[in-house]
A and B are shown apart, each in its own frame.
Chain A
Amino acid sequence: MQLEQISHRKLSVSLTPLIDVVFILLLFFMLSSNFLHWGSVELARSGSDEKSLNAPRLITVLDNQGGIEFGTEAQQVVLGSIALSDAQSALPVALQEWLANDINALYLLRAKPSVTTQALLNSLQQLKLAGVKHLSLYSAPAPIAE
Chain B
Amino acid sequence: MLMQSSISTKPRQAQSDDSLIPLINVVFLMLIFFMVAGKISQSDPVSIDPPVSHQESKVPDIKHRLLLTVQQQLYLDDELLGQLDSALTVLGQRLTILNSGMPDESLALTLKVDKSFPAQDLAPLLYQLKQSGLQNITLLTQSQPKEQ
Contact = CB atoms under 8 A, between A and B. Distances in A.
A19 B115 CA distance: 42
B107 to A, nearest CB: 12
B126 A40 contact: no
A39 B55 contact: yes
B97 interface: no
Which DSSP category, helix, strand, loop or mixed, fits chain A's interface? mixed
B124 A115 contact: no
A12 B17 contact: yes
Interface in B60-117: 60, 106, 110-111, 113-117
Contacts of B60: 40
Interface in A1-42: 1, 8, 11-12, 15, 18-19, 22-23, 25-26, 29-30, 32-42
Interface residues of A, number: 55
A117 B116 contact: yes
A17 B121 CA distance: 54
B118 A15 contact: no
A113 interface: yes
A87 interface: no
A40 B123 contact: no
20 contacts: A19-B27, A29-B31, A29-B35, A34-B40, A38-B140, A39-B58, A39-B59, A40-B57, A40-B58, A43-B126, A43-B137, A83-B147, A110-B120, A111-B119, A116-B117, A121-B139, A129-B55, A139-B124, A139-B127, A142-B124
Interface of B: 6, 13-14, 16-17, 20, 23-24, 27-28, 30-31, 34-35, 37-41, 43, 50-60, 106, 110-111, 113-127, 129-130, 134-144, 146-147
